[in-house]
Amino acid sequence: MIHILIADDDAHIRELLQYHLQSEGYTVFTAADGKEASARLAEEQIHLAVVDVMMPNMDGYQLCEEIRRYYDFPVILLTAKDQLVDKEKGFAVGTDDYLTKPFEPKELLFRIKALLRRYQMVSADKIHLNETTIDRKSYEVQGHGKVLMLPMKEFELLSQLASYPDRTFSREELIQLIWGTDFEGDDRTVDVHIKRLRERFADRSGDFQIRTIRGVGYKLEASPQ
């Protein structure tokens, strides 16, 4: 599942956003201030944060700076101010997007989906797994004297796993990241695509292997050089 953190000192906004995000299939964690949000980050695996600027103890700018220093996921800042200087400060501390209150929950959902999709594809142009290189710009897998063009979903799945070596992804998480929250198929779709990837790269075990974590999902292991 995709985990989203909502940090806002307004309980009504927290509850409203939690309702809409959970309705879209996201797992939601909430925090009433920056310090509580910081503690949540240490406890949970978060994929995106929605952060209010004006919070007690630690404001949204400070929290955004902390996220940029220690984590790698997108941040959307919420603010009641529509001044250019406030937006400038937000982007300076590393926010990915900015939304001015009041706003429609649907607009936030659109932005979340776009950010999650974009973040996975631009986080690195090339991923190196020993002699194998995954090129996210050309959508090619290169190495051992070959250049492979994979079907798009196979490429995105391989890229996702390779971007976080040794991290285990559940089937549900991969479905949301690769196929999206609107996907209506079975999560066994992931198994089929993993099987195809293993068959295609059976001769690359010296570079990487995709492991099954029983009862959980999959992870990619880069072989030691």
pTM of the full structure: 0.58
Judgement on whether residues 89 and 151 belong to the same structural domain of the protein? no
What's the helix, strand, coil split of the chain in %, to 5? 45, 25, 35
* Last residue within a domain, chosen from 121, 138, 161: 121
The token pair that represents 206 in the structure block: 């010296």
Q: Is 164 within 8 Å of 203 (Cβ atoms)?
A: no
The domain that contains 36 carries what CATH number? 3.40.50.2300
Cα 61 to Cα 38: distance, rounded to the nearest angstrom: 13
Judgement on whether residues 203 and 94 belong to the same structural domain of the protein? no
Per-chain mean pLDDT for the chain: 89
The domain that contains 130 carries what CATH number? 1.10.10.10
Whether residue 18 has pLDDT greater than 90: yes
Judgement on whether residues 132 and 113 belong to the same structural domain of the protein? no
* Last residue within a domain, chosen from 121, 143, 167: 121
Judgement on whether residues 138 and 100 belong to the same structural domain of the protein? no
The closest alpha carbon to 17, from 107, 116, 117, belongs to: 107
Q: Averaged over 35-63, what is the pLDDT?
A: 93
Judgement on whether residues 158 and 189 belong to the same structural domain of the protein? yes
Q: Provide the 3-class DSSP secondary structure of residue 149.
A: coil
Cα 177 to Cα 118: distance, rounded to the nearest angstrom: 11
Judgement on whether residues 194 and 151 belong to the same structural domain of the protein? yes
Judgement on whether residues 203 and 157 belong to the same structural domain of the protein? yes
Judgement on whether residues 90 and 30 belong to the same structural domain of the protein? yes
Q: Is 44 within 8 Å of 3 (Cβ atoms)?
A: yes
Whether residue 131 has pLDDT greater than 70: yes
Query: Measured between alpha carbons, how far is residue 120 from residues 28, 29, 39, 45 in Å?
Result: 20, 21, 25, 16
Query: What order do you get walking across the sheet with 48-52 strand by strand?
Result: 27-31, 3-7, 48-52, 75-79, 97-100
Judgement on whether residues 129 and 30 belong to the same structural domain of the protein? no
Judgement on whether residues 63 and 26 belong to the same structural domain of the protein? yes
* Last residue within a domain, chosen from 121, 146, 170: 121
Whether residue 47 has pLDDT greater than 50: yes
Check residue 218 and give its pLDDT.
94
Q: Which residue range forms the structural domain that includes residue 191?
A: 124-222
> What's the total number of domains in the chain?
2
